[in-house]
Structure 1
Amino acid sequence: MLRLRGLKWHVMSWSILRSTTREITKLSHHMPKAMSPSCRALKKTHQSLFRTSAQCFPPPLFGEQRAFYSQDSSKTPNSGSSARIKLRTRLFVTLLFGGSIIGTWWYVYQEKEQRIQMQRLEQLKKVAVGQGDFHLLDHTGQRRIKRDFLGHWVLLYFGFTHCPDICPDELDKMTNVVRILDKDPSLPPVQPLFITVDPERDDVAAMAKYVKDFHPRLVGLTGTAEEVMHAGRDYRVYASAGPKDEDGDYIVDHTIIIYLVNPDGLFLDYYNRMKNDAQIVESIRDHMKKYVKLFPD
C-alpha cells in the first residue's frame, strides 16, 4: 500500500510538471521573442517546480521501506536471544530432571546392594563355618589364634607338605592371587594362611621349610592332632589319611578349597580347583568393594 501511494505521488508530480511545461510552451508561441523565456529560465522554472513538488509531497517509498526494514532488523536480535534463553532453560530443566532420576536410581541401587550384603552377612553368621577359634603354632613356633588375624582379609587353605601335586598347585594359585591384589594400592593387603591336615609329619620345622617356597607373607600353622582337627572342623574340612606304603609314606585325602575370610573373621566365599587366579582376584575385589563392617571395634 505504501509503495502504491509513493508511486502515485511520483506520477502526480511528474504530471503537474509536464502540464506546466506544456502551458509555458504554448504561451511562448504567442509571446514575442523578447518576452519568451530562455532555456536557462525554463530550466530554473523546471527545477523550482521539482523542488516544490518534493516539498509538498512526501518522499517516495524507499525511505519508508528502509525504516520498515530497520525496525524489523531491530526485532530480529531480540527474538534470537529470547530463543537462546528458552533453549538454555529447557536444557537446564532437562539436565536437572535427568540428574535427579539418575541420583535416585543410584541411591536405590546402593541401598539394595547394602541390604543384600547385610542379609548375606546374617546368613553367614548362622552358618557354622569358621565361627570357632583355633590355637595353633606358626612356622616360627609362635602360638597363634584366630583373633590375631581379625581386621585382615584372609585366604586360607588346608593341605599337607607331602602332597605330590594338588597342594603345591593350589598354594601357587593362592600366591599369584595375593601378588596380583598387592599391585593395586587401593585394596587392602590379603593375609595367606596354610593349615596342615597332617600334624604327624608337618611339625614347625617342616612347615618353615615348606612355606618359604611360596609367598613371603604365607603363614604355616600346625599343632597337635586335636588342635588341627578342631581347626578343620570349624571350616567343615574333610581329612583322612590313607594307608602307608613300604616307606611309611601315605597320602591324606582332604577338602581342596581356598577360603576367603573377611576382616570380621567371617567366612565369605570359597574357591575350588575350577577357579583360576584371575577369577579369584575378581571375586575378592568385588567382596572388598561391597564390604560392610559388621562388628564395631
Structure 2
Amino acid sequence: MRASRLVSVLLLLQNRGRMTAEELAEELEVSVRTVYRDIEALSAAGVPVYADRGRTGGYQLVGGYRTRLTGLTEQEAQTLPLAGLPAAAAELGLGAVLAAAQLKLHAALPEELRERAGKITERFHVDVPGWFRDVESPPQLAALARAVWENRRISARYRRWDGSEADFDLDPLGLILKAGNWYVAARRHGGHRTYRVSRILALEERDETFERPADFDLAAYWREWSEQFERRMYPRVAVVRLSPLGRDFVPFYLGAVGARALADSSGEEDEDGWLRVELPVEPGAPALGELLRFGPELQVLAPAELREQVAAAIARMGACYG
C-alpha cells in the first residue's frame, strides 16, 4: 500500500508542480504527518524533491525531473471505463483505484497532450443525476459489485414494489446506473431479471460461482428492458390539447416518454396556438396526477373517462378554495 502511495505522491508532484503537505494529504486521504514521512522516503530513494518554506511554500521536484514509472495495474486498467463517472466509481469502492489510474495516464502523456487534457477537465463536467436528486448509495452496492466481478452467486432478501419481501438466489451479471438509481441485471431460474439495488435488504455471497453467459450483452439487455418497462409503465394514451407553455412543461413533467410523443406529433397548431397531442400515461390514479400538474395549460379530450376524472378533480379543487 505504501509503495503505491509513494508512486502517487511522485506523480502528483510531476503533474501539478508545487503542492503543500495539506494538499497532498487531502488528495491521498492520509494525514499530513504521513505525507512528511513519504516525502522523506522519496528523498532517501534519490528522488529530487525539495521543500519551499513559508506560507506559500510546498513540495516540488527539481526542474525537469520526470519518471516513467506509470504502468497501470490490472485493477487500475479495469476502472478506466468509469473515467467519466468518478462518483459512480467511488460508490463501487473503486474511487481511489480510478484516481490512481487517471494520474498515471496523465503522467504518461506528452506535455502538449497533458495541457489539452487539463483544459478538458477545466471546461467540461458530467453530472449524472437529475435535478433535486442524488446518486443512490445502497449499502449492499460494494458487495454486489464484487459478486458481479467474481461471478459469484448471491442470496438476497428483496423488498418488492408492493412492500412484500422475498428471498432470491441470483447470478448477478451486471450493474446499471440510471438517473441516480442503481440496478442489477441478474439471472434467476434461467431467465434474466432486473432488480433495484436499494431494495436489496440483505445480501450474502455464496461459496459457489456461476458461468457467465458468453452471449450476454449488458448494454443491449438494458436497452431492451428499458423499452419494455416504458411500455408497461405507460399502457394508455391520453389525447390532449397543449398550450405553448404546456408543451414546454412536457419534458419536465413526463420525461423522455412525453418528449418523444410531443416530437412525433404531426398535427398543426389551432388558431389559439394550442396543439393536439397523444400522450402516453400511466394507468389509474397516477395518470390523473400527471395531467393535473399542467394546470390550465392542458385540456384532456379523450378518453372520456379520463376527461371526466380530470374535470371532477378540478371541481373538487375549486371547492376547496371556495
Common fold by TM > 0.5: no
Which structure shows the bigger proportion of residues in strand conformation?
Answer: 2
Structure 1 length-normalised TM: 0.17
Q: Larger Cα Rg: Structure 1 or Structure 2?
A: 1
Structure 2 length-normalised TM: 0.16
